[in-house]
Amino acid sequence: MSRKILNVEESLKHIQNSNGKLYFLCLMVGLITGVIVSFYRYALHIFNVLRETFVSPATLHNYPFLIKIWCLFLVVGFFIDFLYRKYPRTSGSGIPQVKGIILGTVHYKHWFAQLIAKFVGGLFGIGAGLSLGREGPSVQLGSYVATGIAKSFHCNRVDENYLITSGASAGLAGAFGAPLAGVMFSLEELHKFLTAKLIICIFVASIASDFIGRRFFGMDTSFSMLAHYPKDINPYLQFALYILFGVIIAFFGKLFTVTLVKTQNLFQGIKISRWMKVVFVMSTSFLLCLVLPEVTGGGHELVESLPHLQQGILFLFFVFVIKLLFTSISYATGFAGGIFLPMLVLGAILGKIFALILLSVFPFTPEMIVHFMVLGMVGYFVSVVRAPITGAVLILEMTGSFDHLLALVTVSVVAFYVTALLKLAPVYDILYERMPKDDIEETHDVESMGKTLIVVPVAAESYLDGKKISEVEWGEEVLVVALRRSELEKIPKGDTVMQSGDNIVLLLPESIVAEVKEKLLQKGIE
């Protein structure tokens, strides 16, 4: 494979200037992703309805029918496992894979086949009751669409990364009907730096995807809960409760991450055949569909039904534990499905438990239940993912109520800070580190690869902030070719001091991009 060595001057202009073609391609990515994700959401709804119709507590006494359904669950499990083994990059959430694509450590060899496998695998797995979410697969589906368009239009590496980030944003926007959350998630979790060009790209893709999704599902918000802000409570007491709740939910967030990782280790470490593990997981899903259907599937219906459930605190805590364990077991299989939605469900359960405790102590109105369910979702998400802006924006868009903004931000900040004190890394970073990476020599003809450019933002109080360029070990084959400060572009020298807000442009061989990015990440440089 021959590659033309990029002209540095032209490439710098390409990075800095707007590009109408790129924005058009982002629009294409958003529209196509919106269609695919909307079909995915609709198909999941149909599968969930079928599961709840034929496998429920009402069918417990029809033993011959149950045996047939159990066998069907096993067949579905073996089929999903076949897809997983044939296309291992389609496993799990898909968000760590997208991070790997952007970093250059993962490559889609057969993007269209993997797109189909991800779609079908996620559909059958979640449809069979596994406690997995639709958002991770939707994000990865968007990245597959972006990869296909980038290859079809022969985009360079820089534009391809923009398209992939846009596709991921469009996937999340389409999954939840939350375009702003899709934008913030891409900035906070995937690309991790901000440029005007990137903002336009992901906004175009997210809005296009959301537009398509609303043609399918209407203008209603994802959660149809009536959440009212409790205005009659002393504001000082409110903030005290928000801080207390943020602290508590941070510890439960650590519990989620630890449980997820430990279950993965246990699942992989058990010395039994893979097919026996599949039988165990699918049988567990089948039994839970019969006796405790609330914990099966993503859990969207459970969140909407929680305000109306009459069960007490002990039952809710039991549901929380089973949902947590089943989510961890489901994810440990490697089957296509995310943890995003199950996290929100677990947070909503904790929020209701906390609200019920408050109602037993204070003369609050029942509207406090839904209020703390909303806070629980954002707090749990932030404590696990460590993306506070995304969490707050996501819940605001999914509930359609901005009355909770101050409370959401308070709980998010507290949960974020306490989680940092607990020294818990973001869950997607952990999953990315545990994910097998591609060997670049196996996927590319290294001899024929050219050079490329990467942009390194200088964040406030980061490793680069205040350092001279000569004081940083960039690497033997890495050349610092430009420094952009505000609207000005400077030719860097060894004694040039980097400042917060600068963008450093590096020229390096494509073969070492992933290695350099990994070293920068280890130093806290995004």
Full 3-state SS string of 348-385: HHHHHHHHHHHHHHCCCCCHHHHHHHHHHHHHHHHHHH
Residue type, 69: I
pLDDT reported for residue 487? 64
Q: Domain 235-434 belongs to what architecture? A: Orthogonal Bundle (1.10)
For residue 441, the model assigns a pLDDT of: 47
Q: Does the CA dihedral 326-327-328-333 come out positive or negative? A: positive
**pTM of this prediction?**
0.83
Same fold, 8-217 and 235-434: yes
Tokens representing 185? Answer: 């998630």
Number of neighbouring beta carbons within 10 Å of residue 4: 8
Q: What are phi and psi of 409, to 5 degrees?
A: -65, -40
Phi and psi based region of residue 195 (left: phi greater than 0; alpha: psi -120 to 50; beta: remaining):
beta
Q: What is the pLDDT at residue 449?
A: 54
Q: Is 156 helix (H, G, I), strand (E, B) or coil?
A: coil
Rg (CA), the chain: 24
Phi and psi at 480, nearest 5°, equal -85, 110
Q: Do the beta carbons of residue 322 and residue 277 sit within 8 Å?
A: no
Strand-pair partners of 508:
452
Query: What is the predicted pLDDT for the residue at 5?
Result: 43
* Burial per residue of 20-57, b for 16 or more beta-carbon CB atoms within 10 angstroms, e otherwise: eebbebbbbbbbbbbbbbbebbebbeebbeebbebbee
Neighbours of 486 (CB within 10 A): 7
Q: How far is CA 130 from CA 79, 189, 318, in A?
A: 14, 25, 18
CA 122 – CA 76 distance, rounded (Å) = 11
Largest distance between two CA atoms of the chain: 79
pLDDT in tens, the chain (526 residues): 334 444 445 555 555 555 788 899 999 999 999 999 999 999 999 999 898 888 878 777 888 888 999 999 999 999 999 999 999 888 888 889 998 888 778 888 889 999 999 999 999 999 999 999 888 899 999 999 999 999 998 887 778 888 999 999 999 999 888 889 888 888 888 776 667 788 899 999 999 999 999 988 877 777 766 666 777 778 888 889 999 999 999 999 999 999 999 999 999 888 889 899 999 999 999 999 999 988 998 888 888 888 888 888 999 999 999 999 999 999 999 898 889 889 999 999 999 999 999 988 888 888 888 889 989 999 999 999 988 888 888 888 877 777 778 888 999 999 999 998 988 888 988 988 888 777 654 444 444 456 777 778 787 777 888 888 888 888 778 888 888 777 677 788 888 888 887 888 888 887 777 777 777 765 656 5
Q: What is the pLDDT of residue 526?
A: 53
Measure Cα distances from 204 to 34, 133, 181 in Å: 12, 25, 13
For residues 98 and 84, what is the distance between their CA atoms, to the nearest angstrom? 17
The answer to whether domain 449-522 has CATH 3.30.70.1450 is yes
Map residue 482 onto helix, strand or coil. strand
Domain ranges of the chain: 8-217, 235-434, 449-522
User: H or E segment at 483?
Assistant: strand 479-485
> In the structure encoding, which two tokens stand for residue 511, read together?
């073969």
Residue 323: which of 286, 349, 357, 352 has the closest Cα?
349
Q: Which CATH superfamily is domain 8-217 in?
A: Clc chloride channel (1.10.3080.10)
Rounded distance, CA 165 to CA 201, Å? 8
pLDDT in the model for residue 246: 94
